[in-house]
Structure 1
Amino acid sequence: MTRAPDIEVVVLDVLGTMVDEPGGLRAAIHDALPASDEATVERLLTVWQEYVEQAQDGIREKRRGYANSDVIDREAAERVAAGAGLTDPAALARLATAARRLSPWADSAAGLARLAGRFPVLALTHASRACLLRLNAHAGLRWHQALSAEDARAYKPAPEIYRLALDAAGCPPERVLMVAAHAWDLRGAQALGMRTAHVRRPVGDPPRDTDTFTWRTHDLTELAEALP
């Protein structure tokens, strides 16, 4: 692994990197539709994920005005409900806010604490401000500062989102380390000159052979040990 000089601030993605987003959505769908079998839950999870991806793509490509993650999650939940015959308003409302109750990975809280003992740490996430507040409380994630893409009214990998972190860091981009389980996210940060660290997760986007990230690690503990 390449040694990165003079890292001053560590920025971490949240959804998928710090918390198990697909696992949490899967559990929420099952809770809303307890009679559904595993295959049905997986099908409905795919409906949710594909809708969110299409909605975010529409915003990135200016085919749709900005909507925060709460709005898009509600729309995704309505798609799932329509496909499954869910009509209970309370169950639908709880399903729509599933992202507020995602579970952290086993190493997330301890790894974050280790990093925070040495560096200022920032969260940088697609989650709305309201969702981020509740998710951090639920998952036990403690940041020096938490930033929502809602403040940029865009979705990664739009450069203005990474600039939120760079503005907060107040130092050159080569001294800011972006940590994520999604290679596409790191490529976006890399395009602005940030250092990058890929953390392997079961739900992440793995690097390509051509990716030149500064670090590739199995978990946050390994990353904390690797940083100079």
Structure 2
Amino acid sequence: MAVIPDIEVVVLDVLGTLVDEPSGLRAGIREAVPTSDAGCVDELLALWQRHGERERQHIARGTRAYANTSVIDQEAAQLVADRAEFTDPPTLARLATAGQRLPPWGDSLAGLERLSRHFPVLGLSNAAHSALLRLNAHAGLRWHQALSAETVRAYKPAPEVYRLALDTAGCAPERVLMVAAHAWDLRGARAAGMRTAYVHRPVGDPPTAGDDFDGHFGGLDELVTALTGG
């Protein structure tokens, strides 16, 4: 098991790393379209995810003004409603907030609690401020501080998002550890000078042979043990 020394602050991604985003969105879609079979739900989920990825890319390229995740999720929910052919406003409104009701992975809550006994722990999420507040409450995530990329009006892996975490941590980048289940996120953190740890999740973006992260872990519990020695 990799050991990562000389860490002062731990920063964790939220969506996908601490909560199961696809499962939560599937649940929201099934609730909105209860007659859908599994294949239809997966198709609607893919529609939602493609929209989010496309719009974040437009924002990164400067071809769309910044819009937070609440706006983009509202748009995605409308696309799902159009495809599934439902128009009920309360159903659409609830579907648009499905991303605020995501279940935590089995080791997330205990892992955060253990980490917080040894380090200042920050969440760093692309989720909007208000969405992150409700997501943390629903999933039971407890932080010393939770940071939203909305503060800098950008999305990871934009460098200004990692600078937000580093400014909050108040120490040298090489003493700040970024933890994520997405290699693309860790590449952005590494470019900002942060240490990096990949935690495996079934829905993550695994490292490639060319990635040089400080640690690879099978779960959050393994990471905490490596950092704390027990």
Give the alignment's TM-score, normalised by structure 2: 0.98
Instruction: Please name the residue that 1:71 is paired with.
Output: 71
Residues 186-206 of structure 1 show CA distances to partners (whole Å, capped at 9, x for unaligned) of 000000110000000010000
Structure 1, unmatched stretches of 5+, are none
Instruction: Please name the residue that 2:183 is paired with.
Output: 183
Instruction: Please name the residue that 2:40 is paired with.
Output: 40
How far has the Cα of 1:227 moved from its partner?
Answer: 1.3
Count of aligned pairs between the two proteins: 228
1:45-60 to structure 2, matched below 5 A, reads: 45-60=45-60
How far has the Cα of 1:11 moved from its partner?
Answer: 0.2
How far has the Cα of 1:3 moved from its partner?
Answer: 3.9
Residues 152-190 of structure 1 show CA distances to partners (whole Å, capped at 9, x for unaligned) of 100010000001100000000000000000000000000
1:113 aligns with 2:119: no
Residues 125-171 of structure 1 show CA distances to partners (whole Å, capped at 9, x for unaligned) of 01110011111111110000000000010001000000110000000
* Matched letter for residue 43 of structure 1: E
How far has the Cα of 1:2 moved from its partner?
Answer: 5.1
Tell me if the contact between 2:21 and 2:99 (Cα under 8 Å) persists in the aligned partners.
Answer: yes
1:1-228 to structure 2, matched below 5 A, reads: 3-227=3-227
Tell me if the contact between 2:17 and 2:199 (Cα under 8 Å) persists in the aligned partners.
Answer: yes
Give the RMSD, CA atoms, in angstroms.
0.8
Structure 2, unmatched stretches of 5+, are none
Distance 1:227 1:143 in 2: 17
Give the alignment's TM-score, normalised by structure 1: 0.98
Give SS of 1:155's match: coil
